[in-house]
Chains A and B, each alone.
Chain A
Amino acid sequence: MKVTIDGIELDVPSGTTILEAARQIDTKSAPPAMCYYSTLKDSGGKCRTCLVKITQSSAQNTRPSMRLVPACRTLVEDGMVVQNNLSEEVLEARKGIVELLLINHPLDCPICDQAGECDLQNLAFEHGASGTDYKEERRRFPVQDIGPDIKLHMNRCILCFRCVYVADQLTPHRCHGVLNRGDASEIGTYIAKAVDSDFSGNMIDVCPVGALTDKTFRFKSRVWFARPMNAHRECTACCGKTVVWLKGDEVLRVTARKDDVGEVKDFICNGCRFQHKKLEDWVIEGPMHVDRHSVISQNHYEQLQGPQDA
C-alpha cells in the first residue's frame, strides 16, 4: 500500500498504522506518542498526542477526513495522504493536547526522578506552550508504595494505561488497574495488594512520566549524573540484556534497553532490575548511545573517537 506522509511516499503492508508507517520514514519526525507502545498489545488511542490530518482518505475516496485522527489507531489505506508536521492544524491541536495532559500534572520536575528522560517533559518542550489557562485546583493524591520496589506518584500520572497492559500481558495475575472514572480515575492496586510479580518492574520503564519510579533509585541521583552502560548477565527468567546506570563503581539502577523511539523490546525481570546492584554481577559492554540533544549526554561519558589513520 502506498501512503504519503508529509510529502514522503512509502510502501507499507496492509494493517500498518499511520504511526508505524511514519516511524519507518524517520523516528524523530514521527508523531509523538504518550500511550501507544509497540510491544504492548492494544495500547494506544488514549493520549491523542499522535493526532494527524488526513488530506486524502484513499485512492478511491479523495476527500479529506472530517477531523484529526490518532495515528496509532488508524490503519493506512492505499493512496492515503497524511499531514503530520506540515499541518498547522495538527501542531495547534498537539499544543492543546499538551496543555490538557499537564492540567493535573504537578510540574515537580526538580524533585521527580524521571526528569531528563521524561516523555512528557520532552513533549511539552517541543510542542507545548509555556503558559496555561487552567486556574482550578489540581487533583492531589498521597504518594503510594505499590509493591516493595515501586513508588506510585498518582499526581504525575497521565492515565496512559501502559502499566496496566504490562500487568495484563507480562505478569500472570494482574493486581492493579485504573479505579474510578473520568476526572477521578487513578491507578491503584485492589485492596492495596502488592505488585509482586516477577515482571512488574517493567511498569517503571513503560511509564512515560514519573508516576511509577524505582524505589531503589529514589532520589539517588539525577539521571544526567549517572553513566548508562549497556550490560548483560546470565538470567534464566529474562533476556538479561539491560542498561546499568553507574556512578563511579556503584550501580544506581538497572533498566531495560530502549530502542530509538524509546520503547522496550525485551522486557527484563525484577531479579535483574532490583536484586543485582553490584558491578561484579554485570558484564559491561560499553556506553549506551545517548542522543546529543538529551541532557544525559551532558555527562560526556561516551568516548570520543579521534581521527583514525588511513
Chain B
Amino acid sequence: MAKRIDVSGLSAYYGSTKAIEDISMSIEPRSVTAFIGPSGCGKSTFLRTLNRMHEVIPGARVEGKVLLDDENLYASSVDPVAVRRSVGMVFQRPNPFPTMSIYDNVVAGLKLAGVRKKVVLDEVVERSLKGANLWKEVHNRLNKPGAGLSGGQQQRLCIARAIAVEPQVLLMDEPCSALDPISTLAIEDLIGELKSQFTIVIVTHNMQQAARVSDRTAFFNLAGVGQPGRLIELDDTQRIFSNPSVQATEDYISGRFG
C-alpha cells in the first residue's frame, strides 16, 4: 500500500515569485521523512507539491517531476483529485468540518466519494479512530460535533479522517505546532505506528521531534530573503543530527545559525 516518492528538478512558484528551486530527492516507503529548516525556506510549499495542493492557490504553479512509484503526478493526463486520494494530508491547525459529527468527519472522504453502505462506514470509522488512537476517547459520542473536541483530539480526528480514505502516502504539515506536549506525544506515538502502513512525510520546526520520529531528515535552507528555498541535504536522521555533511546543517541544528 505504501509507495515511494521520487522528486526530480522540482521548482514551485507563487505568481512570478520562485518559492523553491530545483529540488530532487527520494522518499522511502514505510518510513518517516522529516523536513526541517528555517521559516520561509519552502518546506511546506514543497510538501504541498507532493499531492498537488500547491496549485489550489491562485497563480501557483510547479515545474519538474514527482514520481509516485513510477507515475508522474504532474503528467498532463493525471487528475489532481485522484492524486489527493492516494496522497493524504494533515494540516498545521486542526480543521475538522464544523457542520459534521465526529463520525461524519472521519468518513467525510468516503461519503463524498459516494460510499453509502452503513456497514462499511461503521467499520472504517472504528478502524480509523483506533488507528488515530482516538477510539477510546470518543466511541460513545460519535454523533457529537467534531469541533467540540480538544485541540489534540481534533488533530487526531483529522489524522483519522486522512487515513480513512486509505492513502498510500501521508503528508503532515507541522501537525503538532498548535498542540501541548501531551497531545504532541500522542501524535508522535501515532506516527510511529502509522509508518508500518504509510509513507509519512512530516514538516516540523521542532528538531527534537524530527530526531524522535523520523528515519530520514531533509534540511532546507534559503540563500537570503527573497531567494528561493533549496534542499541542502537529505540523510539518515541519525547522521543529520550527529555528523551532517554540510556545515549549514550543523549550524542550524546546533542553533548557531545566521
A complexed with B: no
